[in-house]
Amino acid sequence: MCDDANGETPEVKKAVFRRLVEFYARADVDALEALVATDYVGHTAAGDRDWAEFRQSILNFHQLFDYSTDSFIVEDQFVDGDKVATRMTARVRNRETDEPVTMIGINLAVIRRGQIHEEWNTWEVMSPVAPGNDGGSDNGSLSVRGASKSA
Reported as a single tens digit per residue, the pLDDT across 12-48 is 999 999 999 999 999 999 999 999 999 999 999 889 9
CB atoms within 10 A of CB 142: 12
- Is 10-127 a CATH 3.40.50.300 domain? no
Statement: residue 10 has pLDDT above 50: yes
Most distant CA pair in the chain, distance: 58
Domain boundaries, the chain: 10-127
